[in-house]
Structure 1
């Protein structure tokens, strides 16, 4: 039986918006490290470079395509957070990255230890944002729906579906000459424990809400 949707509280809405902003900061920090981003962000960045458009515009274009799939097969996953994330993320990343890059310069010019430091900060920052966003339970971003949709309509578990979508985006990024590196691997396999930590220690307490498990 499908659960009855609760009217979202102002606390959950604010938590979702703050979570999206923090995710944008985390992606900008990964980009500053120049060691690789999460696979869909890396692909969007490369496509934006090739097409000569802004990351924000590229992000919206890709999410519109994915949203068609989500709308057709997974409407129960659509909510306010779907649109805040899908429409705003690229612009949020740019708003953080441009001043960071201007203030600190290219991290790769300072050597691997500095790049690793940027990435070490990016991991918990991104995980905190994802934790707030997911705990608010106000909809799933179009790209994130793809792995959920595969899980719902195939016999494969969520983890395998997520690895498949992330690996496919990473492969496309690499084939197009984009940056796939250590940060990409960390996003795919290491964010989970940090997200779980923030779920229990921070997000559920702050938002005073715990999403139902399917």
Structure 2
């Protein structure tokens, strides 16, 4: 398969970043718990008194160091774009949602927001990873585990998401139904979108991807 960069791959990577950010903002807006990594990210920002974008850069710097040591083949322009831009785009979408929509306080009203958040986040990650132009530092953790263990991707993703959820809980972060849904659904949904959407839209299958 040709490995040259195409417009579809670049567009998929950029659109993926935007969709991921929208998904995270939807999680935050629903107030039923954020996705595990951003639950940890948001709580850490609150405790440190830092903007979310800055805290996101700090965590991603740590994960990027691990990525450079053990998974350099996953590093690319998309890695930097995701690490730098996501936190700020999340803030933009969240501010838009709070300005134009009323937040639902009780169940089941927030559930459609959570469902949209899970779908958006999974699709965005799938597009970003399938573009093969550099994996986000946090997303590399599950890929790295898959590469160095006999476990399938969704199990590795479940492990990293569960660990982040646990750390967020210990720090007093907002966890809830949305966090649990995300932790258990992201891995399988990402695999689903890889096969049925991203590979077809981008007309590209990353080298070494497992079915």
Give the TM-score of the pair, scaled to structure 1. Answer: 0.88
Unaligned runs of 5+ in 1: none
Matched, 1:43 2:40: yes
Q: Number of residue pairs matched?
A: 209
Unaligned runs of 5+ in 2: none
Give the equivalent residue in structure 2 for 1:78.
Answer: 75
Matching residue within 59, 62, 72 for 1:62: 59
Output the aligned Cα RMSD.
2.0
Give the equivalent residue in structure 1 for 2:13.
Answer: 16
Give the equivalent residue in structure 1 for 2:98.
Answer: 101
Q: 2:65 & 2:206 partners in 1: Cα distance?
A: 25
Deviations 1:161-187 (A, max 9, x none): 333322221111111110111111221
Deviation at 1:28, TM superposition (A): 0.5
SS in 2 for 1:205: helix
Q: 2:156 & 2:195 partners in 1: Cα distance?
A: 25
SS in 2 for 1:113: coil
Q: 1:171 & 1:193 partners in 2: Cα distance?
A: 20
Q: Is the 2:153–2:187 Cα contact (8 Å) retained in structure 1?
A: no
Give the equivalent residue in structure 1 for 2:126.
Answer: 131
Matched, 1:173 2:154: no
Deviation at 1:55, TM superposition (A): 0.6
Give the TM-score of the pair, scaled to structure 2. Answer: 0.89
Deviations 1:17-66 (A, max 9, x none): 00110110011011111111111111000011111111111001100011
Give the equivalent residue in structure 1 for 2:108.
Answer: 113
Q: 2:150 & 2:122 partners in 1: Cα distance?
A: 28
Deviation at 1:135, TM superposition (A): 1.7
Change (3 A) 1:17 1:104: same
